[in-house]
Structure formats: structure tokens, C-alpha cells
């Protein structure tokens, strides 16, 4: 009888390794001193933020929860954010109220993570929340002194863990030809705001943190004296992605049908509207703002971004 004549022939192909490669892996990824609930750590931060931990490989799969060894008062909150690496804005965040005792506190995620690396950092911590670390090799700590714009390495190990219920056995090596199917890993993010201008001072209308793209932004002013002198601004990661004075757009011939950026309506002292439809990419933060030489002009904005998740 040939191999294929046996009803279980397929089980022998590749041996046990083949079988293991299709099974779900439930695991914990960590780098700490294996401290257990109830023990007081030798070193800890008091409500300190923008410090994080970087797991560089093997993080693709279903994240059940993140864990932080910390203590609170049962009232104050702490928020963790996470992304594939320190150079990107947050792909997600989760907030808990730690119990009044040192323990591995669980931040429930229950989402698929389609990236091989994972960076986790403390984004916000109220006064009565402390969290643990040590200064023992191998170090994997990172610090930001500019609220997440840049990160530098630290000789510490933050006591942060990740719990997986579906960690993959490893990545496919990229060589030769591979069929790629796009995984839907984006979500919509809405930016909307209304503010009155201040004379000669930039006013922020809306901001969203994360990484992604935006190809629709609408700015609208109410009918007010000098409304057409308003300058609309879009920042990507703190740098100008678009800036234009409405009256200058009209003088340059922008119309409702101008591609990329349209002056949908315009009147001196009247309602003015501007729509931006060219794609704007950002890695950390997207911001809509306005600037006017006069104050008291009511400006609204709305936009929809595709956020990586």
C-alpha cells in the first residue's frame, strides 16, 4: 500500500513540526525579574510617563492583555499605549484603575496584532499610581522627553508583559515570490472642532494621535468681517502638510472644482469653505489649525483619517 493509500497519510508530512506550526500558541512575553503579586519592587516610578518597553520580534498574533506591575489607590488611572515600534504614534491605548496593592495589573486588549514587534509605553498616570522596573540586563527601556516625538534608549527593564492567546509560530521568510493578501488593519478616525480665532495667534481645532493617512479635510468660516483672511493649516507630525490663506486661494484662481484643494465657497466678509482631498500621511499625529490677523472669527473643521491599527 502506498503512503497516500493510508487514511492518515497527511499527518506524517513534515512530522510533528508540521502539526505544531498550525496550532495556536498561548504564551507570555516578558523580560523582568519574575516578581510575583504582593512583592514590593526594589525600584519603581511614581506616576512617571513616556517610558516604555520594546519587544522586537515574535509579537504577531492575538493579544489578550498587556500587564504592568503597579499599585494604585483604587481610584487613580493609568493608560498604556502601544505601537509596532518607538517611531510610530499609538495604534491603540487602554486605561485601568490599579488596585491598592502591588500586582500584575491586566489591561485587556483582545485584538489581533499583525506586526512582528511591539512597543508599549506609559502614556498617562495619575498621582497615586506607581509602577515597577529594574536596571538589570538585558535592557529594553525607552524614554521620550518630547511627549512621544522622539525616543531614546534607557538602561532599565520596565515591568511590562504581553499575554497572547494566538501567537504565531514565526514569520514567513521573504524570498522568491509570495502571494500577498492585504489584511484590513485600518480604522476610521474622525477629527472635528469649532473655535474662534485669536488675533495673530494660531488656534488648534482638532488633533488625532496615531499613524495613517487623511484625504479629506473641510474648513468653514461663518460670515464675519475679515473671515476671508483666515489661514487654514494642517500639520503632519508637527510639520506643515498644508497652509493657505483663503483670500490668497481666491486670488490664485482656486474654485470648487480645483483638484486636491478646492475653494468650495468664498465671499469677502461672508462664508468661506475649503476642502483638501490630497492624501496627507502621518506617523505620529495629525492636527488641524487656523491662523488669523483678527480675532472672533468662527472656524469649523472636519476630517476623516485612516488610522493604522
Asked which of 48-62, 178-192, 237-251 is least confident by mean pLDDT, the reply is: 178-192
Instruction: Give the CATH number for residue 216.
Output: 2.60.120.1390
pLDDT by residue (tens digit) across 215-272? 999 999 999 999 999 999 999 999 999 999 999 999 999 999 999 999 999 999 999 9
33 and 137 in a single domain? The answer is: yes
Whether the link from the prior residue into 138 is cis, omega within 30° of 0, is: yes
Q: What range does the domain containing 219 cover?
A: 186-308
pLDDT of residue 4: 43
Among 137, 167, 197, which residue terminates a domain? 167
Length of the chain: 309
Same domain, 280 and 247: yes
Give the Cα-Cα-Cα angle 282, 284, 290 (nearest 5 degrees). Answer: 70
Asked whether residue 127 falls in the same domain as residue 208, the answer is no
Identify whether 3 is part of a domain. Answer: no
Going by C-alpha positions, the residue among 276, 271, 215 that lies closest to residue 242 is 276
26 has a pLDDT exceeding 80? yes
Q: Are both 197 and 303 inside the same structural domain?
A: yes
Shared domain check, 154 and 18: yes
Same domain, 152 and 90: yes
Q: Which of 167, 202, 226 is the last residue of a domain?
A: 167
CA distance 78 to 32: 20
CB atoms within 10 A of CB 207: 13
**Residues 190 and 162 occupy one common structural domain:** no
Q: Are residue 203 and residue 121 in the same domain, yes or no?
A: no
What is the predicted pLDDT for the residue at 181?
45
pLDDT of 12 strictly over 70: no
On whether both 156 and 216 belong to a single domain, the answer is: no
d(CA 118, CA 86): 9
Q: Which CATH number goes with the domain that contains 118?
A: 2.60.120.820
56 with 143, same domain: the answer is yes
- What's the rounded mean pLDDT across residues 282-291? 94
- Give the total number of structural domains in the chain: 2
Task: Indicate the pTM of the whole model.
Answer: 0.78
159 and 199 share one domain: no
**173: in domain:** no
* DSSP-assigned states of every residue in the chain: --GGGSTTGGGGTTHHHHHHTTS-EEEEE--S----TTPPPSSEEES--SEEEEE-SS--EEEEEEEEEEE--SS--EEEEEESSTTS--SEEEEE---SS-EEEEEEEEEEE--S-EEEEEEEE-TT-EEEEE--SSP-EEE-SSTTSS-EEES-EE-EEEEEEEE-S-PPP--S---------EEEEEEEEEEE-BBTB-EEEEEEESSEEEEEEEEEE-S-TTGGGPEEEEEETTEEEEEEEHHHHHHTT--TT-SSEEEEE--TTS-EEEEE-S-EEESSEEEEEEEBSSS--EEEEEEEEEEE-
Both 192 and 303 in a single domain? yes
With respect to residue 191, please indicate whether it lies within any of the assigned structural domains: yes
Residue 269 located in a structural domain: yes
Amino acid at each position: 500500500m502506498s503512503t497516500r493509500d493510508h487514511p492518515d497519510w497527511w499527518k506524517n508530512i513534515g512530522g510533528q513540526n508540521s502539526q505544531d506550526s498550525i496550532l495556536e500558541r498561548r504564551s507570555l512575553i516578558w523580560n523582568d525579574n519574575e516578581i510575583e503579586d504582593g512583592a514590593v519592587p526594589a525600584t519603581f516610578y511614581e506616576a512617571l510617563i513616556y517610558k516604555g518597553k520594546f519587544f522586537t520580534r515574535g509579537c504577531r498574533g492575538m493579544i489578550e492583555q498587556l500587564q504592568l506591575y503597579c499599585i494604585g489607590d483604587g481610584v487613580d488611572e493609568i493608560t498604556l499605549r502601544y505601537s509596532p515600534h518607538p517611531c510610530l504614534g499609538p495604534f491603540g491605548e487602554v486605561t485601568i484603575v490599579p488596585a491598592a496593592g502591588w500586582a500584575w495589573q491586566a489591561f485587556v486588549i483582545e485584538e489581533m496584532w499583525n506586526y512582528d514587534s511591539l512597543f508599549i509605553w506609559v502614556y498617562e498616570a495619575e498621582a497615586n499610581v506607581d509602577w515597577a522596573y529594574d536596571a538589570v540586563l538585558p535592557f529594553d527601556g525607552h524614554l521620550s522627553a518630547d511627549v512621544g516625538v522622539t525616543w531614546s534608549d534607557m538602561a532599565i527593564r520596565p515591568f511590562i508583559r504581553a499575554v497572547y492567546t494566538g501567537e504565531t509560530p514565526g514569520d514567513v521568510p521573504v524570498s522568491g515570490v509570495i502571494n500577498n493578501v492585504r489584511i484590513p488593519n485600518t480604522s476610521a478616525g474622525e477629527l472635528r472642532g469649532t473655535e474662534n480665532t485669536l488675533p495673530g495667534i494660531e488656534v488648534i481645532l482638532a488633533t488625532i494621535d496615531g499613524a495613517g493617512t487623511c484625504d479629506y479635510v473641510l474648513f468653514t468660516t461663518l460670515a464675519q468681517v475679515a473671515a476671508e483672511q483666515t489661514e487654514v493649516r494642517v500639520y503632519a507630525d508637527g510639520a506643515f502638510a498644508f497652509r493657505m490663506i483663503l483670500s490668497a486661494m481666491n486670488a490664485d484662481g482656486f474654485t470648487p472644482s480645483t483638484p486636491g484643494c478646492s475653494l468650495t465657497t468664498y465671499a469677502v466678509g461672508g462664508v468661506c469653505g475649503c476642502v483638501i482631498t490630497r492624501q496627507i500621511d502621518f506617523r505620529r499625529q495629525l492636527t488641524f489649525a487656523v491662523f488669523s490677523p483678527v480675532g472672533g472669527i468662527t472656524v469649523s473643521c472636519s476630517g476623516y483619517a485612516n488610522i493604522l491599527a
